[in-house]
Amino acid sequence: MSQHSIPSDDPRLTAYALGELDPTEQQEVERLLAESADARSAVKEIRELAGLLTAELKHEPAPALTATQRAAILDAGARPQEAASTNGAVSEQRVAALATRYHSVAQFQSQHSPRVRRIAAFAAVAALVAIMVLLMTPPRSGRLTLIADNSTTPRHSPFGFSPPDAFDADVAWQANPTEEMESLGTSLSQDAAQSASSRPEQLHERFGNAPADEYARPGGARGLKLKDQPSRAKAGGYGGGGGGGMGGGIGGRTSGVNYKGNASGAAGKPADGEGGEVDYSRDGQKVSSTLSKSERGRGLAMPQSGDGAQPEKPAIRNPIAETKPRSASRASDSAPVTSSPLPASRSRRYAESKSGGEAAGQAEGQPSVKRALAGENRGDGRDASGKQLPELRHKQLADDDAKRGEGKGAGDLMLFAKDRLSNEEYYNKLREGAPDARDKEAGKKINKGLSNTFGQPLPPFGNGQTFESGLSRLQGGASDGFGMSLGVQDSILFREHSEGLGAEAYAPLVENSFLSAYEDPLSTFGADVDTASYANVRRFLTNHQLPPRDAVRIEELVNYFSYDYPQPAAEQPFSVSVDAANCPWNPGNKLVRIGLKGREIPRDKRPPSNLVFLVDVSGSMQSEEKLPLVKMGLNLLTNQITEADRVAIVTYSDTAVQRLESTDGGRKPEIRAVIDSLQAAGSTNGAEGIQLAYRAAIDHFIPGGTNRVILCTDGDFNVGVTSDEQLVQLIQERSRTKVFFSVLGFGMGNLKDGKLEKLADKGNGQYAYIDGQKEAQKVFVDDLVGTLVTIAKDVKLQVEFNPNQVNSYRLIGYENRVMPAADFNNDQKDAGDVGAGHSVTALYEVVPAGEAPKPILGDALRYRKAVVPQEGALAQELLTVKLRYKLPEADASTLVEYPVSSPANIATVADGRNPVAFYSVQLNRLDAAPAADKLRELFEQDKKEAPVIEADKANRRLLFRGTAEQVSQGQTLLARLGETGSARDFNWAAAVAAFGLLLRDSQYRGQASLDMVLELATAAKGEDPTGRRQDFIDLVKHTKEIAARRSDAGAVELLGRMTREQREALASVDGKYKNLLRIVEAPADMSTYSATHDFGRWEGTTYSGQSNLPKGYWVYIYPNWYIWGDVAK
Amino acid sequence: MNNGQAVASEWMWEILLRYEGDLLRYAQRIVGDQEQARDVVQETFLKLWRQDRAQLDGHLVEWLYTVCRNHAVDVRRKEQRMHTLAEESWAIHESADPCPGALAERRDSAAQVLDLVDRLPANQQEVIRLKFQGGLSYREISRVTGLTVSHVGVLLHTGLKTIRTKLCPSTT
């Protein structure tokens, strides 16, 4: 072959491939191509690469001019003679007008022609409007939090819009018949797909009350500090993405209304992952919490009765007094333990979608890390010259988010009507229009015993029917805790919601189910002293929303409060207490509480601390409830530290900078100066920050003291060179340096809860969420020592249940922390850390054993005996608690074991008449025998019949057995003796746990209701010096209100979807009435009668502005009264 | 605003939207500092209004990039004594990614591509961005940068080749 005149590696090939070749050379190149396959493939590759580059470069995060700059440009353009000035003042309206137009026009940055663009823009906008209409219709289960209400500003409103509110009248009325939705559905799915690619933020701008003042700042580009744009932008970002996500959902909706069963409804049975069903009906009769149908009949529902087999006093071992670690585990125990098939540890997953786009771009500014790491203490370039960066990040953020497909949030969608009413305003309007002359008390008939999830009475009918059953029958589906039927669209919305509000991200939790003590006697989990979930839940509730299910971690709710556990013995880091009593929400079951208390360290004995504050100062931290709160907390902390402590401050945004070298705590003014100077701007490069912070901590390591990096962030590492997994790995690696790592979460709307929790966990630290000043006070002042000083790390618990006493058990909470049994002894496996004075409480719901333990799965095992004969003390043990922990600077763990004896025979058959209550309590101050004697005396004095009181001397425990009143009286009297702690604390923990179960809408909630929670909590409040318990009680009351509103809201939405015939059928109260005479419109009556009400006979003839009404039977189905002539026979 | 102005504003909006991001990216590469880049771009647009629209027709993009580049280089020269981040980001730099093997773990070749682009020498990178991000032709690029067309070709060719080679192992 002839020689190639052009080598393959020649720029001309590239030029050819890109279509840029000079025509004169065309011929030569083409000849080459004809001859050489290499050349051809090279050209092909180049073209492919070109395509890839074009695509990727288009998606590079694009910065943007500030709004002011834009305004200046346009203004100059309008008046070219003034174009020279960049500092032209711009009038407010012009700017706002421009801004709006800009955003509404800026739909597509693509190459579409203007007309196409406008049509597409309009279509997308219409689509999104429709989507929002549909989304706004309040949902069934009260789980969904909806859109933001722009009109009122409740307590926390840093974004300039108020958080979502449950009920919206305007929209509910509009969300109507299915035909409309069907036609919408198809167009929506198309448009949604399109709109997902558009710049989403303008929807926010368009539909929300964009605060005009944001744009109104005169002056040039410099020296500006805009208000919190990023979070608004994020909201907008999810509007668009939400459109995309919803497209599929809406499509589903149009296929008619199907309902799925729900665990709480009669029809639904939860599919229990571990085998066995748990049926908690709520009709008040069936209370069985048994595991299979066959067992139900055996009356295990009733707690233990008298003692056929009351043996001699059980030999008792002293779980608490044992201070020597016991190395050998008891191999000869009740059941063969080694190979029990425990559920695999439920590993957490991040709820966020993949961060493919994160790798892109933003590599600028990295080199400063080198200098920063070298220890130079320079500010980032901006601060050094005193400039502040104006920030308009919403485009960038929105792009990032749209890229990552996170646009699923129902919560952040903005309203489209500017004259939207807030909840309060709506109700006020209703009340104005309420009718008079009607006896409300007489009119209300409430069916007792029937209530929804939160214990709210369901809208009643006569005949003991409820709206719930009537509807179900009408629509052939089961309903949920709020009495609302479920539909496909609801399940989609529910799923959307449970992933968090908009940009928030929660790791999904699957609740622990009941496990058989016979098959899985070992329950292993890591201790958790995080309190973030409680503060986070509190934040949602205070903003009138129900928190997403996955935001509720019950163990963190319970652990938020302090309990009166006994102090550990002298050299021990921990004390362990075990209590048991009847389970309030499942009377047949017991609740076992295991309490771990860490040694307290008085403030003045606190070891010196070497602290590094790693503060996220990226743009998203600008809002009120973030950086300012961080600063406040840090200032609070600064007040507390001494010369022996050292503080350093590292900030990170685009780059990491050490703002304060490790300074001793005596030089407070210096420290405060740096804290006050912190400003937020830029993107978030978390990895650099972490590196630098650890370096700073290691450089000033205090052996024997506390060395800790405290990260303050909203968790939104939205741009960076590292993925989440890499960050976690980084932390894990760093944790080997014996520097601890705590995480403080701030803010809302983009809180990355799941990620933060994981970081804290891997870093040997705690995760707390600071939602306000009070919490900052708690974390930085009240609990300072606990926050700073870790007394043990990698704390694990393993509980072994005795299958002869316990049929099955369920660990409440700790879903993120459960681990396989084998990991308990494996020191390589991380677990939680416990700070000084912290207590860890774990609750188990336990089903006592029946006559013989029966395996859940149905068949007895062939090679393992069902009942292992036990003698003596062993037979009396309920469970054994094993504890492993590492001292802060140790690498090997220590094991402690505490067998806990149970009262004889907690498993019994009910006698039906007098359910027997039992209560086993750990004494903190008194000794067992004298306490028992005193109690018996007290009972005599009060002339009351005492329950049986047994004293477990060695363990300092008492056991009561008797009727419920006797036991409760015993608790009261015990309180009189000064042993207030245990009983009250137990009830408090139970109340909080029940609340958590309700918030999670747990299938295991049994008979729990908000009223029950209130009852328990109010009784158990105690002295409450910090006021936190009262706050909890207030929170529960608040939740009741929210739930009540949702109940109505859900009903309204459901009614809205029904046809006229269906509504009339409903109004006849399932055929109770016939002969419809009249329909009277009265939407306002819902405030009096709730969504449905069977009033009965009324003789009046004038109502709601109408006269000459027929007398008859009045039934209210929102928004009308139906007047029936006759009662059907 | 009168009609004529309104129409002009419309046009301005569109231009602004269309090119703002690209120009900002481009300018930032040169000056390094985001804020300065914004100033540069703002100046560019302000200059645009003073031009006769008819004159620019068909050359708008090129004009924008040229003016932007000139400004940016000016700014950079002035700021050089401050030894800001500009220098570093303009030069080749390795990612300070701490995690070992991070690159290897990235299976997403698309992300890799961008990363590889970032690692190219400045002039190659500029040309690649102008071509694929800005959509300019060789000639336009040559006018904007002041290099000859063949120099542009060589730069592009080399840059692409580097990227292709590095991508090859993962793209079988």
Q: Are A916 and A304 in contact (CB under 8 A)?
A: yes
- Looking at the fold, whether A80 and A44 belong to one and the same domain comes out as no
pLDDT digits (tens, 9 = 90+) for A429-474: 444 433 332 333 333 332 233 334 444 443 433 333 444 444 444 3
Q: Are A43 and A16 in contact (CB under 8 A)?
A: yes
Token pair for residue A146? 């909806």
Backbone angles phi, psi at A886, to 5 degrees: -120, 135
Residue A424, pLDDT > 50, answer: no
Query: What is the C-alpha radius of gyration for chain A, rounded to an integer number of angstroms?
Result: 33
Helices A229-253, A114-136: axis angle to 10 degrees equals 80
- Which of these ranges, A30-44, A296-310, A462-476, has the smallest mean pLDDT? A296-310
Q: Are A650 and A658 in contact (CB under 8 A)?
A: yes
Q: Which residues contact A130 (CB under 8 A, 6 or more apart)?
A: A184, A188
pLDDT at res. A120? 54
Give me the residue label for tokens 């004390």. A575
d(CA A517, CA A385): 67
pLDDT at res. A856? 54
Q: Which residue of A has its CA nearest to B140?
A: A20
For residue A365, give the nearest of B49, B89, B161 by CB distance. Answer: B89
In a domain, A1027, yes or no: no
Q: Which residue of A has its CA nearest to B24?
A: A63
Confidence bin at A1031 (pLDDT 50/70/90): very high
Cis omega before residue A566 (within 30°)?
A: no
pLDDT digits (tens, 9 = 90+) for B24-41: 888 888 887 788 888 889
CA distance A77 to chain B (A): 6
- Whether the full predicted model's pTM is greater than 0.95, yes or no, is no
- Looking at the fold, whether A376 and A246 belong to one and the same domain comes out as no
The residue that leads in pLDDT, A621 or A161, is A621
CA distance A711 to chain B (A): 19
What is the domain-level CATH number for residue A715?
3.40.50.410
Average pLDDT, chain A: 64
Q: Are A1072 and A506 in contact (CB under 8 A)?
A: no
Give the CA angle between residues A906, A907, A908 to the nearest 5°.
Answer: 115
For residue A50, give the nearest of B35, B95, B132 by CB distance. Answer: B132
Domains and CATH numbers, chain B: 1-91 (no CATH), 96-172 (1.10.10.10)
User: What residues 722-751 of chain A have any CB closer than 8 A to a CB of chain B?
Assistant: 722, 726, 729-730
- Which of these ranges, A233-237, A508-512, A719-723, A936-940, has the smallest mean pLDDT? A233-237
Q: Percent of chain A scored above 70 by pLDDT?
A: 54
User: What residues 361-420 of chain A have any CB closer than 8 A to a CB of chain B?
Assistant: 361, 363-370, 381-382, 387, 389, 395
- Looking at the fold, whether A676 and A755 belong to one and the same domain comes out as yes
- Looking at the fold, whether A71 and A54 belong to one and the same domain comes out as no
Q: Which residues of A touch B88 (CB under 8 A)?
A: 367-368
- Looking at the fold, whether A251 and A362 belong to one and the same domain comes out as no
d(CA A277, CA A745): 38
- Looking at the fold, whether A362 and A249 belong to one and the same domain comes out as no
In a domain, A573, yes or no: no
In a domain, A218, yes or no: yes
pLDDT digits (tens, 9 = 90+) for A712-743: 988 776 545 457 777 777 788 877 778 888 88
The residue that leads in pLDDT, A629 or A860, is A629
Identify the domain boundary among A788, A820, A849: A788
CA distance A72 to chain B (A): 9
Q: Which residue of A has its CA nearest to B158?
A: A11
- Looking at the fold, whether A214 and A83 belong to one and the same domain comes out as yes
For residue B50, give the nearest of A12, A80, A395 by CB distance. Answer: A80
Distances (CA, A) of A637 to A632, A777, A1027, B83: 9, 9, 21, 37
Token pair for residue A611? 């602290």
- Looking at the fold, whether A636 and A763 belong to one and the same domain comes out as yes
Q: Which residue of A has its CA nearest to B48?
A: A77
Confidence bin at A117 (pLDDT 50/70/90): low
Query: Mean pLDDT across the stretch B10-35?
Result: 81
Q: Are A912 and A925 in contact (CB under 8 A)?
A: no
In a domain, A18, yes or no: yes
Contact A20 B153 (CB under 8 A): yes
Tally of helices (H runs) and strands (E runs) in chain A:
36, 25
Q: Which residues of A touch B28 (CB under 8 A)?
A: 63, 364
Q: Which residue of A has its CA nearest to B21?
A: A62
d(CA A354, CA A350): 9
pLDDT at res. B126? 87
For residue B17, give the nearest of A106, A688, A726 by CB distance. Answer: A106
**A143 class by beta-carbon count within 10 Å (0-12 exposed, 13-18 middle, 19+ buried):** buried
d(CA A284, CA A269): 17
User: What residues 702-721 of chain A have any CB closer than 8 A to a CB of chain B?
Assistant: 721
In a domain, A217, yes or no: yes
CA distance B101 to chain A (A): 10
Q: Are A747 and A621 in contact (CB under 8 A)?
A: yes
Token pair for residue A351? 């709820």
Which residue from A1046, A961, A451, A372 is spatially nearest to A693, judged by alpha carbons?
A372
Interface probe with A: pick from B11, B42, B143, most Cβ of A within 10 Å: B42
In a domain, A1014, yes or no: no
In a domain, A881, yes or no: no
- Looking at the fold, whether A638 and A665 belong to one and the same domain comes out as yes
* Residue A884, SS3 per DSSP: strand
Q: Are A407 and A237 in contact (CB under 8 A)?
A: yes
Return the bridge partners of A164, or none.
A148
pLDDT digits (tens, 9 = 90+) for A1045-1088: 766 676 777 777 777 788 888 888 778 888 888 888 888 887 77
CA distance B96 to chain A (A): 7
CA distance B157 to chain A (A): 5
Identify the domain boundary among A749, A772, A788: A788
- Which of these ranges, A4-18, A271-285, A516-530, A563-577, has the smallest mean pLDDT? A271-285
Give me the residue label for tokens 């100077």. A677
- Looking at the fold, whether A76 and A127 belong to one and the same domain comes out as yes
Contact B96 A369 (CB under 8 A): yes
Query: Mean pLDDT across the stretch B43-48?
Result: 86
Range of the domain at A758: 356-389+608-788
* Residue A40, SS3 per DSSP: helix
A47 touches B at CB < 8 Å: no
Q: Are A370 and B96 in contact (CB under 8 A)?
A: yes
Contact B157 A13 (CB under 8 A): yes
Interface probe with B: pick from A53, A683, A722, most Cβ of B within 10 Å: A53
Which residue from A406, A352, A399, A405 is spatially nearest to A59, judged by alpha carbons?
A399
Interface probe with B: pick from A41, A56, A729, most Cβ of B within 10 Å: A56
Token pair for residue B138? 């060789």
d(CA A167, CA B146): 63
Residue A601, pLDDT > 60, answer: yes
Helix (H) or strand (E) holding A163: strand A162-164
Return the bridge partners of A1124, or none.
A1076, A1113
Identify the domain boundary among A745, A773, A788: A788
pLDDT at res. B109? 56
CB atoms within 10 A of CB B88: 18
Q: What's the total number of domains in chain A? A: 4
Return the bridge partners of A796, or none.
A526, A884
Confidence bin at A843 (pLDDT 50/70/90): very high
- Looking at the fold, whether A614 and A749 belong to one and the same domain comes out as yes
Q: Are strands A609-616 and A646-652 parallel, antiparallel or unpaired?
A: parallel
Q: Percent of chain A scored above 90 by pLDDT?
A: 5
Give the CA angle between residues A319, A915, A802 to the nearest 5°.
Answer: 30
Residue A530, pLDDT > 50, answer: yes
Q: Which residues contact A402 (CB under 8 A, 6 or more apart)?
A: A196, A197, A199, A200, A237, A240, A241
Q: Which residue of B has its CA nearest to A84?
A: B46
CA distance A24 to chain B (A): 14
- Looking at the fold, whether A97 and A239 belong to one and the same domain comes out as yes
Q: Are A594 and A812 in contact (CB under 8 A)?
A: no
In a domain, A456, yes or no: no
For residue A64, give the nearest of B5, B24, B118 by CB distance. Answer: B24
Query: Mean pLDDT across the stretch A944-971?
Result: 76
pLDDT digits (tens, 9 = 90+) for A474-494: 333 333 333 333 322 222 222
